[in-house]
Amino acid sequence: MTAPDPLRSFRGVVAATLILEGIVVLLALPVVAKLGDGLATWQGVLVGALALALFLTCAVAGRPWGIAVALGLQLVLIASWFAVPALGVLGLVFGLVWLCLLWFRREVAKRVAESTSDS
């Protein structure tokens, strides 16, 4: 019997983070409605498109390139600062979350490698 892969659970954490981030990005819609030009403008479409992209990225979170797509969306969120400053702030906050997740993943992989080399 083989031991379960501890990095496999990382896919679930990635998907959960993307869903949470998508919900938080959708919460920027009232900001766009109140402070921006309204929901029917390109700013509202940008917020909706980014939230949809975050939700859809959950489907590819387990692929080898899924993390790269998620990190690319973080860069898009940060770059959206010029369109909707609230999105830029969210991009920075969730960028820090992604850095922590990647650090945790690296630590787990390192400890798994150390434990398998001992046996």
- Look up residue 2 and give its DSSP letter: P
pLDDT for position 57: 95
pLDDT for position 98: 94
Supply 102's token pair: 């990647």
Measure the CA–CA gap between 48 and 63, rounded to whole angstroms: 24
pLDDT for position 95: 94
CA 83 vs CA 26, 46, 75: distances in Å = 15, 9, 14
pTM: 0.84
DSSP for 87-116, please give it.
HHHHHHHHHHHHHHHHHHHHHHHHHHHHHH
pLDDT for position 11: 86
Q: Where are the domains of the chain?
A: 9-113
Handedness of CA 87, 85, 89, 64 (dihedral sign): positive
Per run of 10 residues, the mean pLDDT along the chain (length 119 residues) is 69 92 91 71 87 94 88 94 89 95 90 75
